[in-house]
Amino acid sequence: MNTTGPAGAAPAADRAEDARAEPPIAVLFVCLGNICRSPLAEGAFRRAVAARGLARRFAIDSAGISDFHEGDPPDRRAIAVAAARGFDISGQRSRPVRPGDFVAFDWILAMDAANLAALDATAPDHARARMGLYLEVAEGRPQPVPDPYYDGPAAFEEVLDMVDAAAGRLLDRLLAEAQDGRAAPAPKRRST
Ligand code: 4NP
């Protein structure tokens, strides 16, 4: 059904809605390979956002410091632990962090200190994204999300426990900042 009226013009109520619409809060999760931790972090945060009916307020993605796995789906162990908790990350594809990410995203959240150091080293001068360790930004805990790649399924469970708990905390923080108008303008470089 055509609900936009003659010549595709939006009804007045929709135009008013558009005028109020804020740009989405853009969050990028980063790990080394973008096949284990950051896909789980992305999936868990997407689910937390969707559970509160806020999908339209966020732009969410993940990326790797490396391009080792560019184009690959998440590791099958990551897909499996996510599926066991009722969410599907199998459609994600690994990609490396790109220079434009430092401008396009409000937050770039690293899984560990090495990831964060690599982000700091490659951020362009005109970067506007705020960067930090994920668990520190979300929970005030300056701890890494440990790399499970060379470990067994229990390590993937542990990662999912961490990023699942952090997702709700991050969402609370970002919503509170947006409410206070503190989300922008954002300083360059890392910030917690
Ligand atoms: P991630 O895990 O950074 O959590 O995606 C890894 C994935 C791949 C490799 C290392 C860590 N790798 O060396 O290929």
Whether ligand 1 lies within 6 angstroms of the CB of 31 is answered as yes
- Of residues 91, 45, 86, the one with CA closest to residue 72: 91
d(CA 95, CA 81): 21
Ligand 1, from 147, 160, 162: best to mutate by most atoms within 8 Å of Cβ?
A: 147
| C-alpha 105 – ligand 1 centre gap (Å) | 23
- Full residue range of the structural domain in which residue 75 is found: 21-180
Is residue 42 assigned to a domain?
A: yes
Is residue 1 assigned to a domain?
A: no
Which pLDDT belongs to residue 109? 98
Which residues contact residue 192 at a Cβ distance below 8 angstroms, ignoring those fewer than 6 apart? 132, 133, 136, 137, 140
Is residue 16 assigned to a domain?
A: no
φ, ψ for residue 61, nearest 5 deg: -155, 175
Neighbours of 107 (CB within 10 A): 22
Q: Pick out the chain residues at pLDDT < 70.
A: 1-20, 182-192
Whether ligand 1 lies within 6 angstroms of the CB of 149 is answered as yes
Which pLDDT belongs to residue 47? 98
d(CA 116, CA 97): 12
Q: Do 71 and 96 meet the contact criterion of CB atoms below 8 Å apart?
A: no
Give how many domains the chain has, as a whole number: 1
Q: What is the pTM of this model?
A: 0.87
Which pLDDT belongs to residue 15? 43
Active site residues: 31, 37, 147
| Domain CATH for 63 | 3.40.50.2300
Whether ligand 1 lies within 6 angstroms of the CB of 144 is answered as no
Which pLDDT belongs to residue 22? 81
Which pLDDT belongs to residue 181? 81
Which pLDDT belongs to residue 189? 52
pLDDT tens for 57-88 read 999 999 999 999 999 999 999 999 999 999 99
Residue 18 β-bridge partners: none
Q: Do 49 and 55 meet the contact criterion of CB atoms below 8 Å apart?
A: yes
Q: Do 60 and 27 meet the contact criterion of CB atoms below 8 Å apart?
A: yes
Is residue 3 assigned to a domain?
A: no
